[in-house]
Amino acid sequence: MVANTHKLVIDHCKKVREIPGLEDAILVLSFESNLAFESQHLLKAFERNNVKKWVALSEGAGGTLGWLTTNERSTCHVSNQPRFSAHA
């Protein structure tokens, strides 16, 4: 089941890059940080599938990946300046 989710996300990102003008787009990934290690698992899947040119937003302690999601945040979206990890 988890592998299917990773494949779905990767396939979606590859489809985005098939859109004219977005072939070289930088993917901006905003994962939930309160999903245990799921954000790290997804990034490893990106690396295994040779997905290039992405940044992953982070706000956790010690630069951990992802955004802490709460009901309040879900309704107001992202509003602060993120730190990010980049992969070229």
Sequence-ordered list of residues with C-beta below 8 angstroms from that of 69, at least 6 positions apart, any chain: 32, 33, 34
Residues in a beta bridge with 57: 84
Question: Integer distance in angstroms from the first to the last C-alpha of the chain?
Answer: 28
- Within 10 A of 31 (CB to CB), how many other CB atoms are there? 20
- State the average pLDDT over residues 14-18: 94
pLDDT tens for residues 39-68?
A: 788 888 999 999 999 988 877 666 677 777
42 within 8 A of 13, measured Cβ to Cβ: no
Please give the pLDDT value at position 76.
60
Band of residue 33 on the pLDDT scale cut at 50, 70, 90 = confident
Band of residue 5 on the pLDDT scale cut at 50, 70, 90 = confident
% of the chain surpassing 90 pLDDT: 32
Q: Which residue has the higher pLDDT, 3 or 35?
A: 3
> Which residue carries 């706000």 as its tokens?
59
44 within 8 A of 69, measured Cβ to Cβ: no
Is the pLDDT at 17 greater than 90? The verdict is yes
The DSSP element (H or E) to which 55 belongs, if any, is strand 54-58
Give the single-character DSSP code of 34. T
